[in-house]
Structure 1
Amino acid sequence: MTPEGVFIRNPDKLYIGGEWVAPLSGESIEVVNPVSEEVIARVAAAGDADMERAVAAARQAFDHGPWPTTPPAERGKVLMAMAAILEKRVPEIAKAWCAQIGGLTTRSEGMQMGSVMGLRGIAALGESFPWTETKKGQMVDTAVIVREPVGVVVGIAPWNAPFGIMLNKVAYALIAGNTIVMKPSPETPLEAYIIAEAAEEAGLPPGVINLVPADREASDHLIHSRDIDKVSFTGSSAAGMHIASVCGAKMTRATFELGGKSAAIVRDDFPIEDAANILGNTITMLSGQICAMLSRAIVTKDRHDELAEAIAKVMKGVKIGDPADPETQLGPLAMKRQLERVEMYIEEGKKSGADLVTGGGRPAHLNKGYFIEPTLFANVDNQSRIAQEEIFGPVLCLIPAEDEEDAIRIANESNYGLNGAVMTGDAQAAYDVARRVRTGVVGQNGMRMEFGMPFGGFKQSGIGREGGEEGLWPYVETKTILLDAAPAVF
């Protein structure tokens, strides 16, 4: 069972060792549409034994298959073939995303196409990455530095951007010569099926890529396996900390792109109306369900009330409704538990003493679906829960500061450090402030994204980077070979 316009050949099966196989668990996962609250897809659910089958297939393919020793440039050609296949299926992938989490149709195809372009960029690293380097040594004639695949990778992707994030993990793993086990979120498994079908069509050897959708218990069994060499996880900081502890106990390599509570510092030179338009329209993107979301805004006290009023005006003008309507600006939250989480934080905000300027409830004109109004709290204490914890919904906290120095202090007063922004017309000032904020990415005048560049976080926002050449380094091991003479062939 799949949504209309999404054509998956074997939704009732797992992809293990180059074959579509029935799950040994005998179980399935139901996917619920957040607009209709109805089941729109049903796929196979992997159990513990299925996880062991997938890891064994990936281990066999890495230890004895041709993929790890295939020249990187040849691996890149296979990934380019996958990209061509996936590009043709972008409309289908877009429909899957909208059906599963209620994403806006006006943004979906462009988002998925951007992910395919990212795959092509990673595939090109087969030609440009420094896979081998030679250096003259002090104690030996020649040192050869080689970058080899780390081994069996487990890729775990979240539900908010399931295609792009999983494809990124698959691309980096494969260009490096690794094998991979894909574990998509149970809320959004469909994109990983399409990736597996593209890999099969492109001719990847059996076991190089495997697919095991699963709920939490079987997923935990997967990461405990001693036959895996690396975990790449994108998701909540709480889940990331658990996975890190499991990996640490057996020295499994791991990278994490986790949560955020990113701050936008509004400098005094930046117009109030412009800041309001950026902040009020950013917090509604994907219903606020973006790890890099600018969910805190910091402004000097004498401009606070004016900015609060201007943001509220923008939020009140946002059209909430069916994500298939091209006029809609804010769709539903992705699932019922997410709606309940956001409502809990709104109640916490009211108790904290912050001012609820606008929003805070479900839209009066919608009696079905997981919808919530864009919500603004002003005069927020940066030590309160709504300012310190990731809400993952369209809730913005406006925090007053004494001056720019105080604003930087407030921005850094967080356990997170994923993203940030400096609102100013002065690029030098934006750079100077950005250098002082402890976060992985900082954009001038908005939530800026550049997917070919390194992306990741400080502190509890993660370990490692994805994007660009830096994104490949966590998928390779560096080996130093010390020789009495330079080899003729590398």
Structure 2
Amino acid sequence: MSTQVSVDGSAGAAPSAREQPVPLRHPDRLFIDGRWVAPTTASTFAIIDPATEELYYRAAEAGAEDMSLAVAAARRAFDSSGWPQLAPAERAQWLHRIADRLRRRAADASQLWTRQVGVLHSMSKGSIERIGASYDYYADLAADFPFEVRHRPNQGPFGAVVREPIGVVGAIVAWNTPMSLAAHKVGPALLAGCTVVLKAPPEAPGEAYVLAEVAEEIGLPAGVLNVLTADREVSELLVRDPRVDKIAFTGSSAAGRRIAAVCGDRMARFTLELGGKSPAIVLDDYDLETAARSLAAAECTLNGQVCSSLTRIIVSRHRHDAFAEALGSFFGAVRIGDPFDPDAQLGPLAMERQRDRVEGFVAKGLAEGARLVTGGGRPEGFERGYYLQPTVFAGVDNGSTIAQEEIFGPVLSVIPADDEEHAIQLANETPYGLNASVFTDDADRALRVARRLRAGTVGHNGYRTDPAMGFGGFKQSGIGREGGRDGLLPYLESKTLILDGLPTGYDPLD
């Protein structure tokens, strides 16, 4: 089954799309202690446009000394600036200002997101415009979140449990959705009263720089937010630094295990939002073509580079072949194109090494006996760019490489099951547990199956997540939650107060 392409080569992009200047003021500098400072090294990161394979811009690379300076600034701001002592409502006003300025910079951030990792511009525009709402959400929590709860202690007239900021936070975000990932770390951290060192991904630092520019524009107190870009070695210095109280990380499970080990050694707090190999169970009462259409469309999101993608599709053995053909038909007809082409449905992978990695998984799938229904190679007519055809495998063994390891590309595996019980078993037989979905016309049945799936989110009849309700995983998909009220708790420490007297301004409990 051949893949349709929108244009040959890079045609189809708006003529002016790649002529716009890089919308950053200081890509050659680092944002430390409220100022843009020159890095201590001359090294830079080359940011490559994945649709053209051409240099987009260069970003400053932080060295060990720069990381130490950023941590020192955050530590000083936490210990001496008075930021943690502000009332939550006062810190909330700063978050509203960030949200307002980010909305004004939405076009810039959208341009950066598309040019850096190839996400469709038609998608990035809408997604970026919603980032400000994440900061507003956390700001609004200041009104009713229980930062202090009175208790009647067994000794003394006054008792309370207060939630105080955890301290200095090292926030490390992945390259696929850096601005959204930063929002769900920086937003709750600042509301809690923490200070932050935000480590941007070397492949896509631009959105973090926009956030730093916003912090400068609104006059956020020096050291409260520091932004720099570093490689893995220097990033580990952030994780190891005893001046950092908590690490908030989004990325691979392998890196997450390393961070957990380092933090555990020094008893630092951490939250980890890691990889996934998420199942979709299509039950026998659900229409195959409707399910196939939905799953094919969902896998186009971020060109398949989503940790919560529903890439393991489990269907009854007697309906397996029909479903695989339907899925191959819908996914194989996806329109590949330049990410600035409004008609494109799938853009390039983010970088050459990522395409090479995905192609390696395709080769493993074939070698281990899976049947290729569609795709599997590079699309014709695209001499430049890290493009890959949307790919569907059928007859996939649940223990095979492509069924167990996160691919992070537009590759779907169809796995046959004997019955509903077997489908649940197959869904749970993975080291991951980030997302899942149940396709059925029976809501009661969907709930029953969902409660048995070991996943942080379970949707019904489609790919569904809601950060306002919280996001995170079971097993090797992470520790802790981001988003929602649960996403604020990891940035707070609970302190029990028992006083031998009633402080001024407090009434006795009845």
TM-score (norm 2): 0.94
After TM superposition, give the deviation of residue 488 of structure 1 in Å: 2.5
Please name the residue that 2:495 is paired with: 479
Take 1:122 and 1:30, find their aligned partners in 2: how far apart are those partners?
Answer: 34
For the pair 1:133 / 2:153, whether they are aligned, the reply is no
Please name the residue that 1:175 is paired with: 191
After TM superposition, give the deviation of residue 153 of structure 1 in Å: 0.2
Take 1:351 and 1:489, find their aligned partners in 2: how far apart are those partners?
Answer: 72
Take 1:6 and 1:134, find their aligned partners in 2: how far apart are those partners?
Answer: 52
Take 2:429 and 2:35, find their aligned partners in 1: how far apart are those partners?
Answer: 50
After TM superposition, give the deviation of residue 141 of structure 1 in Å: 2.9
Please name the residue that 1:95 is paired with: 111
After TM superposition, give the deviation of residue 3 of structure 1 in Å: 7.8
Please name the residue that 2:411 is paired with: 395
Letter in 1 for 2:363: E
Letter in 2 for 1:321: G
After TM superposition, give the deviation of residue 7 of structure 1 in Å: 2.3
- For the residue of structure 2 that corresponds to 1:42, the secondary structure is strand
Letter in 2 for 1:385: T
- For the residue of structure 2 that corresponds to 1:479, the secondary structure is strand
Question: Is the 1:3–1:99 contact (alpha carbons within 8 Å) kept by the matching residues of 2?
Answer: no
Question: Structure 1 3/32 Cα, relative in aligned 2: closer, same or farther at 3 Å?
Answer: farther
2:291 to 275, 281, 304: 275
Letter in 2 for 1:283: E
Moved more, 216-225 or 68-77: 216-225
After TM superposition, give the deviation of residue 489 of structure 1 in Å: 3.9
Question: Is the 2:50–2:118 contact (alpha carbons within 8 Å) kept by the matching residues of 1?
Answer: yes
For the pair 1:212 / 2:200, whether they are aligned, the reply is no
After TM superposition, give the deviation of residue 425 of structure 1 in Å: 1.5
Question: Is the 2:22–2:57 contact (alpha carbons within 8 Å) kept by the matching residues of 1?
Answer: no
Pairing of 1:13-412 with structure 2 (within 5 A): 13-412=29-428
Question: Is the 1:5–1:92 contact (alpha carbons within 8 Å) kept by the matching residues of 2?
Answer: no
Take 2:497 and 2:21, find their aligned partners in 1: how far apart are those partners?
Answer: 53
After TM superposition, give the deviation of residue 262 of structure 1 in Å: 0.2
Pairing of 1:434-453 with structure 2 (within 5 A): 434-453=450-469
TM-score (norm 1): 0.98
Which blocks of at least 5 consecutive residues in structure 1 are unaligned?
Answer: none
Letter in 1 for 2:98: M
Take 1:425 and 1:439, find their aligned partners in 2: how far apart are those partners?
Answer: 21
Take 1:276 and 1:19, find their aligned partners in 2: how far apart are those partners?
Answer: 51
For the pair 1:458 / 2:474, whether they are aligned, the reply is yes
Question: Is the 2:332–2:391 contact (alpha carbons within 8 Å) kept by the matching residues of 1?
Answer: no
- For the residue of structure 2 that corresponds to 1:442, the secondary structure is strand
Question: Is the 1:362–1:371 contact (alpha carbons within 8 Å) kept by the matching residues of 2?
Answer: yes
After TM superposition, give the deviation of residue 201 of structure 1 in Å: 1.6
Letter in 2 for 1:69: Q
Take 2:213 and 2:196, find their aligned partners in 1: how far apart are those partners?
Answer: 14
Take 2:213 and 2:431, find their aligned partners in 1: how far apart are those partners?
Answer: 40
- For the residue of structure 2 that corresponds to 1:12, the secondary structure is coil
After TM superposition, give the deviation of residue 51 of structure 1 in Å: 0.4
Letter in 1 for 2:345: Q
- For the residue of structure 1 that corresponds to 2:180, the secondary structure is helix
Please name the residue that 2:449 is paired with: 433
Take 1:84 and 1:6, find their aligned partners in 2: how far apart are those partners?
Answer: 22
Moved more, 3-12 or 463-472: 3-12
- For the residue of structure 1 that corresponds to 2:176, the secondary structure is coil
Please tell me the root mean square deviation across aligned C-alpha atoms, in Å: 1.2
Take 2:34 and 2:253, find their aligned partners in 1: how far apart are those partners?
Answer: 33
- For the residue of structure 2 that corresponds to 1:429, the secondary structure is helix
After TM superposition, give the deviation of residue 26 of structure 1 in Å: 2.2
After TM superposition, give the deviation of residue 114 of structure 1 in Å: 1.8
After TM superposition, give the deviation of residue 382 of structure 1 in Å: 0.4
- For the residue of structure 2 that corresponds to 1:79, the secondary structure is helix
- For the residue of structure 2 that corresponds to 1:121, the secondary structure is helix
After TM superposition, give the deviation of residue 5 of structure 1 in Å: 4.8
Question: Is the 1:417–1:439 contact (alpha carbons within 8 Å) kept by the matching residues of 2?
Answer: yes
After TM superposition, give the deviation of residue 486 of structure 1 in Å: 3.5
Take 1:11 and 1:150, find their aligned partners in 2: how far apart are those partners?
Answer: 30
After TM superposition, give the deviation of residue 113 of structure 1 in Å: 1.6
- For the residue of structure 2 that corresponds to 1:15, the secondary structure is strand
Question: Is the 1:183–1:219 contact (alpha carbons within 8 Å) kept by the matching residues of 2?
Answer: yes
Moved more, 52-61 or 137-146: 137-146
Which blocks of at least 5 consecutive residues in structure 2 are unaligned?
Answer: 1-17
Take 1:68 and 1:238, find their aligned partners in 2: how far apart are those partners?
Answer: 33
> Relative contact order (C-alpha < 8 Å, sep 6+): which is higher?
2
Question: Is the 1:31–1:100 contact (alpha carbons within 8 Å) kept by the matching residues of 2?
Answer: yes
Take 1:429 and 1:140, find their aligned partners in 2: how far apart are those partners?
Answer: 52
Letter in 2 for 1:279: L
How many residues matched? 489
Question: Is the 2:99–2:131 contact (alpha carbons within 8 Å) kept by the matching residues of 1?
Answer: no
Question: Is the 1:79–1:119 contact (alpha carbons within 8 Å) kept by the matching residues of 2?
Answer: yes
- For the residue of structure 2 that corresponds to 1:287, the secondary structure is helix
- For the residue of structure 2 that corresponds to 1:299, the secondary structure is strand
For the pair 1:11 / 2:27, whether they are aligned, the reply is yes
After TM superposition, give the deviation of residue 366 of structure 1 in Å: 1.1
Take 2:478 and 2:334, find their aligned partners in 1: how far apart are those partners?
Answer: 32
Which whole-Å deviations, capped at 9, do the CAs of 1:60-80 have from their partners, x for residues lacking one? 000111211011000001110
